[in-house]
Amino acid sequence: MSIKRKKKLASWTTWICILLLFVLAIGVFSLCVGSGGFYFKEIIFSIKRGSPEFSILFDIRLPRIILGFAVGGALSLAGVILQGIFRNPLVEPYTLGISGGAVLGVTLNMVLGIAKILGVISLPISGFLGGTVVIIILYFLSINKRILKMHELLLCGVMISFVCSSLLMLLMAVSKTENLHGIIFWMMGSLEQPNMNLMWAAVIMSVFGLIVSYFFCFDLNALLLGEEEAAHLGINVEKTKRLLFVTASVLTGFSVSVAGIIGFVGLLVPHFVRMFVGNDYRILNISVFLLGGGFLVFCDALARIVIAPLELPVGVITGILGGTLFIYSILKKKLIIG
């Protein structure tokens, strides 16, 4: 093994260890803070199973931390995949209208009163179905002679996003006042998911997406050079684009259906990671996943303590913090892929 490769592996290992420590620290911080704060020493030695404190920590806060890590990792991974196949640093998971379809599905559920009949579990199912419909429409609008036209895909996605937003406003205008609060709250994002099965489904989905992305890390590296150059290197460009588009879309649709719209995670995190670890997808995928998960867990912790004992929607915090950091990254002039 050459000295240069050894240095690269050592650098990658160092960054992964740093990010793992960051995620662990943020997890402990999020576990301790809230309307009822705990010291780390109390969590380790004093809290007994069956006590109210134990229930707060391990039945309420810990599931939120796990869900936040899964959703944040999935959105960040979807963002870095889409930026790679589009070769555009401004593409994010919500650009293609998939989130609009998911929110539209949830809104229809609320307006039609389906949740009152089938229960709360029907809301994320409706969201996922709405996102899936948009994915199918996008795919068939953009495919031409088995070639996925990326420019057409992007334009169709933006237009579908506008259409979904208009339909959403229409439904909000005609819906009952009692439904408006639920719709708006869903649109702003929340990690307060009472169903443990959905939480673990989000974890499985995000980890599965990470594994799939690693089968295509060399393909993504080649796509940075352009589609023609990637084809010359032996990459099946069309197959890669289709599979990665579906992977990123499913990650986005499922995340939105479980947690609502949480902006800037899939746009901001990939840029910040590139500033430190570079553009190689062999390290980029796992780094983005870890930092995205930690970032969302941190934002959720802030959402719980900024106006405690009240709680802000986590999408508000990611919008403010993410927008500020994104402007900073633009000023650093390091937003170029490849």
Render each residue's pLDDT in the chain as its tens digit; 338 residues. 567 777 888 888 899 999 999 999 999 888 877 666 565 555 555 566 666 666 777 777 888 899 999 999 999 999 999 998 888 888 888 888 888 888 888 888 888 888 777 777 787 888 888 888 888 888 888 777 677 777 788 888 888 888 888 888 888 888 777 778 777 877 788 887 667 888 888 899 999 999 999 999 999 989 888 888 888 888 888 888 889 988 998 898 888 888 888 888 888 899 888 888 888 899 999 999 999 999 999 999 888 888 777 788 888 888 888 888 877 777 765 544 44
Output b/e per residue, 69-99; b: 16+ Cβ within 10 A: bbbbbbbbbbbbbbbbbbeebebbbbbbbbb
Nearest-CA neighbor of 65 among 261, 303, 301?
301
What is this structure's pTM?
Answer: 0.88
Q: How far apart are CA 249 and CA 253, in angstroms?
A: 6
* Backbone CA torsion sign across 75, 80, 85, 90: positive
> DSSP code of 306?
T
Between the alpha carbon of residue 158 and those of residues 87, 97, 128, 140, 265, the distances in Å are 16, 6, 19, 15, 19
pLDDT for residue 320? 86
Cα 43 to chain center, whole Å? 29
CATH architecture for the domain at 11-331: Orthogonal Bundle (1.10)
d(CA 93, CA 75): 7
What are the structural domain ranges in the chain?
A: 11-331
Q: What is the pLDDT of residue 304?
A: 85
28-33 long-range CB contacts below 8 Å, 24 or more apart?
29/298, 29/301, 30/61, 30/64, 30/65, 30/68, 30/297, 30/298, 30/300, 30/301, 31/57, 31/61, 31/62, 31/65, 33/301, 33/304, 33/305
Return the pLDDT at 335: 47
| φ, ψ at 226 (rounded to 5°) | 115, 155
Q: Which amino acid is at 309?
A: P
Number of residues in the chain: 338
